[in-house]
């Protein structure tokens, strides 16, 4: 199957599965790539925790922060499904910056991420990305804003109403009645911009090798492995990733490294068109399409 036929088939599969998908898969050694709407900007959700980890690790390297510094963190006390770690704690906790970095990136803990954002605000994270020559990722706000969506205003039996609003209240220009889904106000990125970030982390770049290695290690230990990991994990591969989920958004970025030396950066950003919070079929479809693109590149 040639690339054009493959992409047409993958678009059909996404459409039939109720997903609008923006994908890019790139061979990190040859630069060959395949994508579907790779330059479309979408709200980033928890994917922004990777730029946050990069900025935090860079400031530790510069001596502006000390990873051993202990911080008192207020509990998140969030009771709705989804949030993890300190976000669900009922009592204050005292943790080191290094451990907050682990919780934010590996457990996708929004409260830990906000403790790091208090040290390195969104504008400063964006500034560090700019210094490193990384474009296309916009960092505008902390994670606190993601905990006040329509989902928190309905009971569990009415979650589908929040997802229906997320699906139907957008505009063709990227605006949205839900602020967290409005690309002019949210943290945003494209599949291409996140693949560029992955390439800078996995291959020689303007990112200091010590910092790149630290962020790679955090992504390798990411605990949420229900989305793309089933198709990219084996005894002969290493899958390092970060997920992002918000209302009808389902994202994952990562790098699969094969024992034969090949490595592929993968970014899958999707919007579900089905008003339901639990959609394992959508997660499986994302993984299937991403693997199809990877398999094609791997055979070139």
Tens digits of residue pLDDT in 224-281? 999 999 999 999 999 999 999 988 899 999 999 999 999 999 999 999 998 888 899 9
CB 174: neighbour CB atoms within 10 A?
17
45: pLDDT strictly greater than 80: yes
Interval 47-106: pLDDT, tens: 999 999 999 999 999 999 999 999 999 987 766 666 888 988 989 999 999 999 999 999
* Residues 266 and 25: beta-carbon distance below 8 Å: yes
Strand partners, 1: none
DSSP 274: S
- Exposed/middle/buried for 76, CB within 10 Å: 0-12, 13-18, 19+? buried
Structure tokens at 182: 């409005």
In whole angstroms, what is the distance from residue 53 CA to residue 133 CA? 16
Q: In angstroms, how far is CA 214 from the centroid of its own chain?
A: 17
Residues 6+ apart with CB under 8 A from 17: 281, 282, 285
Q: What is the pLDDT of residue 83?
A: 80
User: 3-class DSSP state for residue 288?
Assistant: helix
Strand partners, 238: 257
Q: What is the pLDDT of residue 164?
A: 66
Angle between helices 191-202 and 209-220 (to 10 degrees): 120
Mean pLDDT over 208-221 rounds to: 98
Q: What is the pLDDT of residue 184?
A: 87
Angle at 24 between CA 295 and CA 224, to 5 degrees: 85
Residues 6+ apart with CB under 8 A from 208: 58, 61
- Exposed/middle/buried for 274, CB within 10 Å: 0-12, 13-18, 19+? middle
Secondary structure E strands in 84-192: 93-96, 188-189
In whole angstroms, what is the distance from residue 290 CA to residue 269 CA? 11
Cα separation values, 165 from 78, 145, 149, 179, 181, Å: 22, 17, 11, 12, 11
Band the pLDDT of 161: cuts 50, 70, 90.
low
């Amino acid at each position: 199957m040639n690339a054009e036929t493959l992409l047409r088939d993958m678009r059909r599969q996404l459409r039939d599965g109720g997903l609008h998908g923006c994908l890019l898969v790139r061979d990190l050694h040859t630069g060959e790539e395949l994508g579907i709407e790779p330059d479309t900007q979408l709200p980033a959700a928890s994917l922004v925790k990777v730029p946050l980890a990069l900025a935090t690790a860079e400031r530790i390297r510069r001596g502006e922060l000390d990873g051993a510094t202990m911080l008192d963190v207020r509990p998140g006390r969030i009771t709705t499904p989804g949030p993890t770690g300190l976000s669900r704690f009922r009592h204050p906790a005292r943790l080191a910056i290094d451990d907050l970095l682990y919780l934010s990136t590996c457990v996708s803990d929004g409260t830990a991420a906000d403790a790091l954002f208090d040290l390195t605000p969104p504008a400063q994270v964006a500034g560090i990305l700019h210094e490193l020559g990384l474009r296309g990722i916009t960092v505008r706000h902390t994670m606190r804003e993601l905990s006040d969506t329509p989902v928190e205003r309905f009971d569990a039996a009415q979650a589908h109403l929040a997802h229906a609003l997320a699906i139907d209240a957008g505009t063709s220009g990227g605006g949205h009645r839900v602020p967290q889904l409005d690309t002019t106000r949210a943290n945003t990125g494209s599949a291409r911009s996140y693949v560029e970030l992955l390439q800078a982390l996995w291959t020689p770049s303007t990112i200091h090798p010590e910092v790149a290695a630290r962020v790679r290690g955090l992504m390798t230990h990411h605990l949420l492995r229900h989305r793309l990991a089933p198709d990219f994990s084996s005894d002969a591969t290493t899958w390092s990733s970060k997920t992002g989920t918000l209302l009808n958004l389902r994202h994952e970025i990562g790098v699969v490294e094969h024992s034969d030396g090949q490595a592929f950066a993968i970014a899958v950003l999707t919007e579900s068109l089905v008003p339901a919070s639990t959609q394992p079929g959508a997660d499986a479809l994302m993984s299937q399409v991403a693997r199809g693109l990877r398999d094609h590149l791997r055979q070139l």
